[in-house]
Structure 1
Amino acid sequence: MTIFTIDEVKKTFTNGEVEEQVLKGVNLALQEGEVTALVGASGSGKSTILTIAAGLQRATEGDILFEGKSLTKMSQEQIRKIRASEFGFVFQSAHLVPFLTVEEQLLLMLNVSESKMKKREQKEEVEKILKLVEMNHRKDAYPASLSGGEKQRVAIARAIIHKPKMLFADEPTASLDSKRSKDVMTLIRDLTKTLNITTLMVTHDEEMLPYADHIITMRDGLIV
């Protein structure tokens, strides 16, 4: 089932009197329980379409539909609430809070997403998700003591702890070696299927493409 639609999205950036059209009319439909990978050369527009889809910036023209509702017509506060409750994010760097333990990182995300779970239920949910990503044995550890792969596993757990419907991943393996990259991509793929998440990922690493259900190539602001 289609849960997310990008409809004729265009994006123009203005620098003084100079205008640059980065996206020239992008159309894309994303299905539940599937991983879609966006690939293309630097400057092709793949990261721009990801940030627009995630509600982190506005399109110049076109529409973004999430569960049939137009994000383009929503206020910034409405989009913020959707990002907090329905979207999850994984970036190239884990961006973990240095003074919080692994468990505390996830509890913080539940609070940000305005979870209605009681304290005990939150702790049980954190334990469940950490087991899914094989990090429960490190729940009391601080980021400084984690390896790069472990940090990304925690970042993924944090991104899905509030049970989002969409997962946006921007170069999630770029800072990892080959083995850890494959481990992280296996985890993203398996969680997408297990939790029926819709995942949109930007990557430049061709070795990660076999983990995607769909591969979308962008060139000069268009899907080719």
Structure 2
Amino acid sequence: MATFELRQVAKSFPDGEAEIRVLKGIDLTLAEGQLTALVGSSGSGKSTLLTIAAGLQEASGGEILLDGEDMTKMPPEKLRSIRATRFGFVFQSSHLVPFLTAEDQLALMLDVSGSRLDAAGRAKQVAEALGLVGMEHRRKAYPASLSGGEKQRIAIARAIIHRPRILFADEPTASLDSERSHEILGLLRKLTQAFGMSTLMVTHDGEMLPYADRVVEMRDGRIEGHTWRTANGIGT
């Protein structure tokens, strides 16, 4: 069942008296429990598409529908609320707060998302999220003492602790070695399926594509094609 849909999404930037068209009428639907990978050469528009879909950048045209409601017509305060409560974000860098422990990073996200859990409920949810990414034993650790892979696991736990509907991941393995990259993508796929999230990921690493349910190829601001991977043989 589709939960998120882009219709004829366009993005242009002024260039003197001319105009640079970065996105040229993108149609894309994300489904629950599926990980969609966006691929393409530098300048193809994939990162721009992700940031516009996530409400981090305005589109120049088209519609972005969440449960049938057009996000491009929402007032800024409602869009901010959706980003905080219904979206999750994982980036190339973990962007962890340096003076917060792993568990405090997640507790902060609960605050941002407006959680109404009491202290016991919050502690339980934080512990469960850390356990899902295999990091409960590092709950008291500060970012400076964590490896790159551990930081990304904490970032993923922070991104999913409030059970978002849509997860956006922008080059989540770009700063990791091959072994850690496979661990992180396997984890993202597992959580996407377990929580029924719709995950949209930008990646340049072809080795990571087998973890995706669908690969969307972009070129010059357009979608060139889709590849579905219904039986990729990767364990969860």
SS class of match (1:72): helix
- Partner of residue 38, structure 1: 38
Q: Deviations over 1:109-146 (max 9, x none)?
A: 00011111112111100001101100000000000000
Q: Deviations over 1:47-86 (max 9, x none)?
A: 0110000000111010000111110110111100000000
Alignment pair present for 1:189 and 2:185:
no
Report the Cα distance in structure 2 between the residues aligned to 1:116 and 1:52, rounded to whole angstroms: 29
SS class of match (1:58): coil
Matches within 5 A, 1:193-204: 193-204=193-204
Partner letter of residue 113 of structure 1?
Answer: S
Segments of structure 2 that go 5 or more residues without pairing to the other structure are 225-236
Q: Deviations over 1:18-56 (max 9, x none)?
A: 310000110001100000000000000000110000000
C-alpha RMSD of matched pairs (Å): 0.6
Report the Cα distance in structure 1 between the residues aligned to 2:17 and 2:101, rounded to whole angstroms: 48
Alignment pair present for 1:176 and 2:180:
no
Alignment pair present for 1:112 and 2:112:
yes
- Partner of residue 86, structure 2: 86
- Partner of residue 164, structure 2: 164
Shift of the alpha carbon at 1:89? 0.1
SS class of match (2:116): coil
Q: Write out the 4+ residue segments of structure 1 that deviate beyond 3 Å after TM superposition.
A: none
SS class of match (2:19): strand
Segments of structure 1 that go 5 or more residues without pairing to the other structure are none
- Partner of residue 153, structure 2: 153
Shift of the alpha carbon at 1:209? 0.3
Report the Cα distance in structure 2 between the residues aligned to 1:205 and 1:194, rounded to whole angstroms: 24
Report the Cα distance in structure 2 between the residues aligned to 1:192 and 1:131, rounded to whole angstroms: 16
- Partner of residue 102, structure 1: 102
Report the Cα distance in structure 1 between the residues aligned to 2:197 and 2:105, rounded to whole angstroms: 21
Report the Cα distance in structure 1 between the residues aligned to 2:23 and 2:193, rounded to whole angstroms: 30
Counting matched residue pairs gives: 224
- Partner of residue 123, structure 1: 123
Report the Cα distance in structure 2 between the residues aligned to 1:15 and 1:159, rounded to whole angstroms: 36
Shift of the alpha carbon at 1:202? 0.3
Shift of the alpha carbon at 1:172? 0.2
Report the Cα distance in structure 1 between the residues aligned to 2:98 and 2:16, rounded to whole angstroms: 39
Partner letter of residue 189 of structure 1?
Answer: R
Report the Cα distance in structure 2 between the residues aligned to 1:220 and 1:141, rounded to whole angstroms: 43
Partner letter of residue 147 of structure 1?
Answer: S
Partner letter of residue 181 of structure 1?
Answer: S
Report the Cα distance in structure 2 between the residues aligned to 1:205 and 1:67, rounded to whole angstroms: 31
